[in-house]
Amino acid sequence: MTATLTPAQSPPRFFALIPCAGTGSRAGAVGPKQYQVVAGQPLVMHTVAAFQAVTRIAGVVIAVSDGDDFWHTPLSGVTVVPCGGATRAATVGNGLAAMTAQGVLAHDWVLVHDAARCLVTPGQINALIDACQHDAVGGLLAHKLADTLKRESGGRVEATLERADKWLAQTPQMFRMAALTQALGAVGDNVTDEASAIESTGARPLLVPGGAQNIKVTYPDDFALAEAILRSRTP
């Protein structure tokens, strides 16, 4: 007779949460940048496709602003939730609450990923899962800083900083549902990424090498770069 696993005993699952409620004010685009067409389709659709290609992802939740009318056609394995907040952290917190209501368990893993990071690959997502699934804390994709780093004051260089231990945080960022929910609830809505919230608890997230191409499309020039990279990947 096969024993029935309780929720606490069941193997943890992997879910993706994509906050998609931003306005993209720095991008210089008309309307939210995540819906601008890049390489033949809306930017965010490239992002979603990368997660759909990872078989270990049990589901993708997209957290959008109330009244967002972009998502007309159902997508396989994707749930769209109108729970956008005033900040990215608020949107993520609301998304986590919605996922909990939908049955995501405290020990399940959540991979939070920027909608505008459309160049992430299934290979990078799988690498993050492989690195973090047995880790006590979780971690994030990041890219080791290659450029010389300056500190500015009044428009002039104040100091040159040591770069050997500096990394650029990327996404996805992967943490347990309960730990991330509690950490975000404790620090408030102004943290700019999930790792910062986890760090505030005293934990030290794992840094998993991402890649230079895993940029967040933020400024007008980024669209042309993303277009070129995506088209270079097309057979």
> How many other CB atoms sit within 10 Å of the CB of residue 8?
8
d(CA 63, CA 212): 26
pLDDT tens digits for the chain (235 residues)? 334 445 556 899 999 999 999 765 444 455 788 999 999 999 999 999 999 999 999 999 999 999 999 998 899 999 999 999 999 999 999 999 999 999 999 999 999 999 999 999 999 999 999 999 999 999 999 999 999 999 999 999 999 999 999 999 999 999 999 999 999 999 999 899 999 999 999 999 999 999 999 999 999 999 999 999 999 997 7
In the CATH scheme, what is the code of domain 14-233? 3.90.550.10
**Domain extents in the chain:** 14-233
Specify whether the CB–CB gap between 177 and 100 falls below 8 A: yes
Task: Please report which residue ranges of the chain form alpha helices under DSSP H.
Answer: 43-52, 88-101, 122-132, 177-187, 194-199, 220-233
Question: What predicted TM-score, i.e. pTM, was given to this entire model?
Answer: 0.92
What SS3 class is residue 25? Answer: helix
